[in-house]
């Protein structure tokens, strides 16, 4: 499996004349909710300024870029794996499945798929096997991966905000489901519900107690 650490998107485009899809995920660490991925094919004729790793952007900037990506990308799609799938497969394999779903949902077939991180699943689009490469820290290097990280991050954050409305006592709007002190205190007081990942050690220990 090839891993590119220094190539830019321009370098990769020089070798691949077809469409390139960037893929990233968010939500591997939280105790609750789906792991969310996104695949984005940007329009080379409509570059988007300011793309970067979503974690390095302010919430206001992420939302502005989210809207711009949705408006200008040639195609994008969100994939996910549920807490039940995470418990059944483990978080790594569930994440790979969610990435495959994101790419499969694109309305256009990319020639190349670039994935943030150090591994990539096998991708298929409408029966066609796709070439893919993983790129360490690609969300800060490759524009299409940066765009995917923004789409995935804003999507999942909004889902946590909605969960906060349904279960305000847990504070999801603040910690987004991650294992913080306040989150553990809320779980200890109110318990867990069906959106929790029951195979994750902190949740499993609480259930066993």
* 179/175 Cα distance (integer angstroms): 8
Q: CB neighbours of 92 closer than 8 A, spacing ≥ 6?
A: none
Model confidence at 135: pLDDT above 90? yes
* 176/48 Cα distance (integer angstroms): 27
pLDDT at residue number 206: 86
Model confidence at 1: pLDDT above 70? no
As a whole number, mean pLDDT of residues 175-200 equals 96
Helices and strands (DSSP H and E) totals, the chain: 8, 6
The percent of residues in the chain predicted with pLDDT above 70, rounded, is 92
* 159/6 Cα distance (integer angstroms): 34
Tell me whether strands 123-125 and 128-135 are parallel, antiparallel or unpaired: antiparallel
| Contact between 139 and 145 (Cβ < 8 Å) | yes
As a CATH number, domain 9-208 is 3.30.420.10
pLDDT tens for each residue of 31-70: 999 999 999 999 999 999 999 999 999 999 999 999 999 9
Q: Coil, strand or helix: which one is 19? A: coil
Q: If residue 32 lies in a helix (H) or strand (E), which one and from where to where?
A: none
* 137/87 Cα distance (integer angstroms): 27
pLDDT tens for each residue of 148-174: 999 999 999 999 999 999 999 999 999
The closest alpha carbon to 82, from 37, 24, 148, belongs to 37
pLDDT tens for each residue of 93-128: 999 999 999 999 999 999 999 999 999 999 999 999
């Amino acid at each position: 499996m090839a891993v590119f650490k220094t190539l830019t998107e321009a370098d990769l485009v020089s070798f691949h004349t077809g469409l390139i899809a960037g893929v990233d995920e968010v939500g591997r660490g939280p105790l609750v909710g789906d792991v969310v991925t996104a695949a984005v094919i940007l329009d080379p004729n409509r570059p988007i300024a300011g793309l970067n790793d979503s974690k390095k952007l302010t919430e206001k900037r992420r939302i502005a870029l989210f809207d711009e990506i949705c408006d200008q990308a040639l195609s994008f799609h969100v994939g996910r794996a549920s807490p039940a799938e995470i418990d059944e497969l483990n978080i790594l394999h569930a994440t790979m499945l969610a990435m495959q779903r994101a790419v499969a949902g694109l309305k256009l077939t990319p020639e190349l798929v670039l994935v943030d991180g150090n591994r990539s699943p096998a991708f298929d689009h409408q029966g066609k096997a796709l070439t893919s490469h993983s790129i360490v820290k690609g969300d800060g290097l490759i524009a299409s991966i940066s765009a995917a990280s923004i789409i995935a991050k804003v999507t999942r954050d909004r889902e946590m905000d909605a969960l906060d409305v349904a279960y305000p006592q847990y504070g999801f709007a603040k910690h987004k489901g991650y294992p913080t002190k306040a989150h553990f205190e809320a779980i200890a007081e109110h318990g867990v519900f069906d959106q929790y990942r029951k195979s994750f050690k902190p949740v499993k220990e609480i259930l066993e107690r």
